[in-house]
Amino acid sequence: MDVFSDVIASARVGLPKFTRSQRVGRWGNRFGPYPGAGFHVVLQGACWLIPPSGEPVALGAGDVVFLPHGVQHGMSDSPDRKVAELPPDPGVDLVGEFDEAPDQALLLCGAYRLDRGLAHPFLRSLPEVVHLPTHPGRRSGLDAAVELLRADLAENRPGAEAAQPALLDLLLVYLLREWLDSEPGKSETGWGAALTDPAITAALHHIHREPGRQWTVQELAHEAGLSRTVFARRFSALVGQPPLTYLTWWRLSTAAQLLRSGDAPLASIARQVGYTSEFAFAAAFKREFGLAPGAYRRQAPDRPAAQLAAEG
């Protein structure tokens, strides 16, 4: 996978959950806080997002809202509501016949399950609320994903239980791409810039592909096509960490993924991520995650039940 795919895969666990709702007249609900990341898609009609702070945001058909940190917020027919006064979302499908009356909205609301402990710095760098409006007259990948979702939900054809989670995963990819495409123009630093900088992306690619290699800053600079000094300065400025600090984080994050998804021996995982000593690996892992590798494996949220039973 490429670095951007790793960013998404590093934290996502399980299937996204979602509900559809038809909203009529005077309405409003409170959502979150989520342990993962929340999202809303306005399939038809219009409404308002009431953020945890700042001004309400007008939403129209095709708009997507992403809340990467799962903060509490509201959705309403009107901007004159406060989050605290809104009743909690019932969390069930409320869809009936939809006639596109001016005071109605059809929403898709849900959440992606994320392992906060493995959230990539890119995801942690996103703002509380990401609003991605539709693009009239311009066919973007995000608009296409929204339309596919809308059509599949409306038609309820065979295979919907397989198609809809896959389409929601596609939606996540496209909404992050959309944000990434707009972010470099806003800032010359940060992950938005790092993932579009050819030299830094090249170094990140090598770190992600070979976390077990004993990289030096000089070797990574060579892969980036820069001098050691220029590379170290640019990497730190864009990524927010020195190269070898990020390398250590990625090694331990990779180890955590291996622990939660398989049953490879700890010594094998340690070697895969660049530790020659199981003791050194265990100590570094505990510093990062607050648990020894074995304890982390037993507590992993997506640990297969059969493996847990076998480990007693």
Give the chain's domains with CATH numbers.
Answer: 3-185 (2.60.120.280), 197-306 (1.10.10.60)
Q: Which tokens hold the place of 88?
A: 């909690």
Euclidean distance between CA atoms 21 and 95, whole angstroms: 5
CA distance 291 to 271: 19
Residue 307 has pLDDT above 50, yes or no: no
Q: Tokens 């570094």 identify what position?
A: 284
Note the pLDDT tens digit of each residue in 136-148: 766 688 988 888 8
In the block, tokens 């993932």 appear at 195
Cα(273)–Cα(244) distance, integer angstroms: 13
| Short-list 114, 226, 238, CA closest to 183 | 238
Q: Which of 119-133, 163-177, 178-192, 271-285 has the lowest mean pLDDT?
A: 178-192
**Res 310: pLDDT:** 40
User: Which of 52-56, 104-108, 241-245 has the largest mean confidence?
Assistant: 241-245
Q: Tell me, what's the pLDDT at 93? A: 75
Residue among 263, 286, 266 nearest 275 (CA): 266
Q: What was the pLDDT predicted at 157? A: 79
* Predicted structure pTM score: 0.84
pLDDT of residue 215: 97
How far, in Å, CA of 159 to CA of 30, rounded? Answer: 31
- Cα dihedral sign, 207-213-219-225: negative
Sign of CA dihedral 168, 169, 170, 176: positive
Average pLDDT across the chain, whole number: 87
Residue with more model confidence, 261 or 57: 57
Angle between helices 198-209 and 228-239 (to 10 degrees): 80
pLDDT given for residue 97 in this prediction: 56
Which of the residue ranges 88-97, 153-162, 299-308 has the most confident prediction, judged by mean pLDDT? Answer: 153-162
Asked if 79 and 56 count as a contact pair (C-beta separation under 8 A), the reply is yes
Q: Determine phi and psi for 74, rounding to 5 degrees.
A: -130, 160
- Taking 50 as the threshold, does the pLDDT of residue 36 lie above it? yes
Residue position matching structure tokens 């494996």: 297
DSSP labels, 257-274: HHHHH----HHHHHHHTT
DSSP letter for each residue of 1-31: --HHHHHHHTTB-S--EEEEEEEESS-EEEE
Q: What is the pLDDT of residues 206-217, one digit of tens each?
A: 999 999 999 999
If DSSP codes are grouped into helix, strand and coil, which group holds residue 84? Answer: helix
At residue 152 the predicted structure's pLDDT band, cuts being 50, 70 and 90, is confident
